[in-house]
A and B are shown apart, each in its own frame.
Chain A
């Protein structure tokens, strides 16, 4: 923002008015506060309403708390059995549908990710309670698989009928002795979106897993990577780069992750936060309890990757690492620049819209910028105000009824394991040198003036936006994919990446350039009309006439 050059040819107020026109008055009033026209303000960012209820009947992109908890945070962990307590569906839909990859099987460790486990509650369980069945199911899991951990997830009916899943988990954990059993009260009606589920998952992972390992990690530059889910192999690419730099990634929360990774996460010396929305709670708790500072990073985009690596090196402050990182960046950037030169002439000036998640609508703008494409409208599906406006708004956030029912856990410095990684003076010096801790500036500042920032975009508005602003590319999720493409506009899934990826890191950037080139320049979009539809008149003359 504050960028003198504005590219928008339309009147944003006019677009906004058109988006709202058809709504009943109450809906229009509410949506008006979630559709924001980006503008440059002195020392502050324009305010947006976010993390509020979806309006019944308005077709939303959002999912539920359970999806955020079981699907997003716990799903990518290979050696914990995820047991869904509820009727069969919730478990079925979260089975292998999220493209988070693992190499656990290859390494020979436990890998339960290709399995779905459920108590498949029946009406008698709903009427008489499902605790007994849950207990029996946990027992059967244990006997069949002997996993290190069993995570139990509650779906909607469970909370209503009052099953105490935590008590059952505790009981079974004690009974087994060698298997950690813990539970998540992530009923889908809690909160207003997946976001509540992230929070619930963060709390329980922190309480039941982090810091439980005896294994000592003596590596030199140890970090945790938070909020990276290894969709399409993103995490593999980031790990490749980190390894090349000599940086040890102790634990990824949560991609290709394992029980042991979480259990040793307290031994890292720095937490690097990718997706701020889904995981900032863990970052904060790691700092409070163990003294691990956190910084915001972004491995989406080659330049952002380089920048993030430099930040990590700056934090550790050793010349050897700083040099190593520079060598790696130089090596890797060669291929990136070649790819960029090849593609940019075909992508430059094109426009994109991004409506995904809690961080990707922001992160991917860096990749589009590398392609010289403009993001003309963007927004999150389940983010909070701080993800738009920056963390400075956090103290002003109101706790409403929907957030109040998400447990806040109290964390204190661990009497034995708390160890400040840097002295106050060192931290201040690093801040002074430009390395910001616990800071995320949000999406709004990066977007140009006059662009539209829209929270919880719905199907109707998506369709209207595309009709009015005619972007060259639209990015959202599977539910939005085909209605957009029917209009002749290519659509890229930025949750699951369609069948592509990785897009993180340097190799990922190269993949992404090729993918976007393919999408925005595909011939298919030019064939919408048959010849007789383009020229319906019967003007042909016969050569023999």
Chain B
């Protein structure tokens, strides 16, 4: 047993987190920053945080993740990090020549109270910012919220660059939330099918799934051009996917630039995708081509063909709020039973929403925001499940409890595919179901007696 010390009895803990189901804000900010074209993320703090965030993202994507740090020493920690950041800005523009530096803070610089806008002013006054280059900054203290909050804060900082347009530019803003590069590409494909011109930010497609060609480019072609982000203030409207990841940015665009916004769930599964497509169509005033309906029909077809394997199966889920909300709805919609649901990210609304979504299941579910994987494991011990969905850390629980695991979420450190194959939209729904079915049916094939072992499933 790997997690041999986890007891079945749940005892309340007030101070101790064990096996966290979240991590800290800056990594979310770093991931979001990589979705701006020609952008170098910068971590304002000691160098360890930056090393950790880069390593975690690199392991998840198997791709280079460049980011700089202010490399605080004790002096900077006592006297403030202004000198370090100004020097860093100078060095970065000279050596790496990015178009944009996206600075996020860390626990350290937040605790000492460094003020990014003021330091940016100083850097500009000292001529450390070449003409045409952009600095943006987001406060990301990790003692508030989680990596999801950090992502949201950086996306909000992007939205803050938007300028109100005299004239609407006919485009729709899509704020995709923390999804994979493959998902962002899929959202753009869907918009294109419907004939809607979109500005999507951030957009990590082409950045964190770059090809091998014999050439390394620190700034690949992907990412949202900073100009487009500026012009997002002149869009027809904004679709924010996910309350936790994207709503703050969309609301800022609304108040600052009068771009009306709708906050939708992340389009995982049938119904959330339906709502996304419908909202996009209405906002842009276009009609949805048959191709999209065909994709939808394919997803529906698979659900009906294999419904017997989904029906009534109990599932444990761990991950981030927006993803969990959409996935819970999807699972419920195909008659699976998500019964244990944990996120490490705080948020009372999350628990309420999950309870609403699972109301029709006719039983109580265990749900917790600001929970951890130790608690989830204990719940599983008390009521076992047929399927487990979550990040790579789940495999320790899955192995101990012998539960089929579908890797989904962040980080995925031991399998590939998430950067290439989407899980959003109808096609993404097909992929999720394929994974679920493979996990369940591989298990069935493993466990069936010789007498009941069957060729056709």
Contact = CB atoms under 8 A, between A and B. Distances in A.
Interface of A: 22-24, 27, 53-67, 83, 86-97, 105, 110-112, 114-123, 125-126, 133-137, 139-141, 143-145, 155-157, 159-161, 187-193, 401-402, 405, 459-460, 463, 477-479, 481-488, 528-529
Nearest to B216: A486
Interface in B57-105: 58-59, 62-77, 84-85, 87-92, 94-96
Interface in B306-350: 344
A92 B20 contact: yes
B360 interface: no
B122 to A, nearest CB: 14
Contacts of A95: 19-20, 393
B77 A114 contact: no
B251 interface: no
B5 A117 contact: no
Interface string B12-24: 0111111110111
Given A484-B216, A528-B214, A136 B16 contact: yes
B425 interface: no
Nearest to A55: B91
Given A402-B73, A460-B95, A481 B58 contact: yes
A486 B213 contact: yes
B143 A117 contact: no
Given A116-B18, A137-B16, 14 more contacts: A23-B95, A56-B68, A56-B88, A87-B24, A90-B48, A94-B52, A97-B55, A118-B16, A135-B15, A157-B107, A188-B47, A189-B77, A481-B64, A486-B217
A126 B51 CA distance: 23
25 contacts: A23-B94, A55-B87, A59-B67, A62-B47, A64-B46, A64-B47, A67-B51, A86-B107, A89-B52, A89-B147, A92-B22, A93-B23, A111-B5, A118-B17, A126-B107, A126-B141, A136-B15, A140-B14, A145-B5, A155-B107, A156-B106, A188-B46, A460-B95, A463-B216, A478-B55
A451 B344 CA distance: 50
A83 B67 CA distance: 28
Contact of A114 (B3, B24, B56, B107): B3
B146 to A, nearest CB: 7
In the A-B complex, the 9 residue pairs with the closest CB atoms: A64-B48, A89-B24, A57-B88, A57-B91, A136-B15, A528-B214, A93-B52, A483-B64, A486-B216
Contacts of B54: 479
Contacts of B15: 119, 133-137, 139-140
Nearest to B72: A189
A55 B7 contact: no
B144 interface: yes
B20 A105 contact: no
B199 interface: no
Q: Contact residue range for chain B?
A: 35 or more
Contacts of A192: 73
Contacts of A93: 23, 52-53, 55-56
Contact of B393 (A96, A190, A401): A96
B78 to A, nearest CB: 8
B45 A54 contact: no
Contacts of B222: none
Contact of A88 (B7, B45, B71, B142): B142
A29 B89 CA distance: 18
Contacts of B282: none
A156 B214 contact: no
A87 B142 contact: yes
| Most chain A beta carbons < 10 A, residue from B111, B142, B147, B413 | B142
B1 A105 contact: yes
Contacts of B457: none
B2 interface: yes
A459 B18 contact: no
A453 B153 CA distance: 42
A145 B108 CA distance: 31
A120 to B, nearest CB: 4
Interface string B121-135: 000000000000000
B49 interface: yes
Contacts of B210: 486
A120 B13 contact: no
Given A56-B88, A59-B67, A89 B14 contact: no
B229 interface: no
Contact of B107 (A83, A136, A156): A156
Given A93-B52, A125-B143, A157-B111, A24 B22 contact: no
A57 B143 contact: no
Contacts of A482: 58, 62-64
Interface in B409-441: 413
Given A95-B393, A463-B216, A160 B143 contact: no
Interface string B293-314: 0000000000000000000000
A139 B142 CA distance: 24
Contact of A528 (B4, B49, B96, B212): B212
A402 B214 contact: no
Contacts of B144: 122-123
A259 to B, nearest CB: 15
Nearest to B22: A88
A533 to B, nearest CB: 9
A156 B45 contact: yes
Interface in B190-234: 210, 212-218
A209 to B, nearest CB: 21
B407 to A, nearest CB: 15
Given A88-B24, A528-B213, A141 B16 contact: yes
Contacts of B59: 97, 478
A416 to B, nearest CB: 36
B224 to A, nearest CB: 22
Contacts of A402: 73-74
Nearest to A134: B15
Contact of B95 (A58, A121, A140, A479): A58
Given A54-B71, A57-B90, A105 B4 contact: yes
B18 A115 contact: yes
Contacts of A137: 15-16
A460 B96 contact: yes
B396 interface: yes
B27 interface: yes
Contacts of B47: 54, 60, 62-64, 188, 193
Contacts of B27: 89
Given A89-B49, A95-B393, A145-B5, A188 B108 contact: yes
Contacts of A112: 5
B11 interface: yes
Contact of B92 (A53, A57, A118): A57
Contacts of B42: 57
Contact of A486 (B14, B23, B215): B215
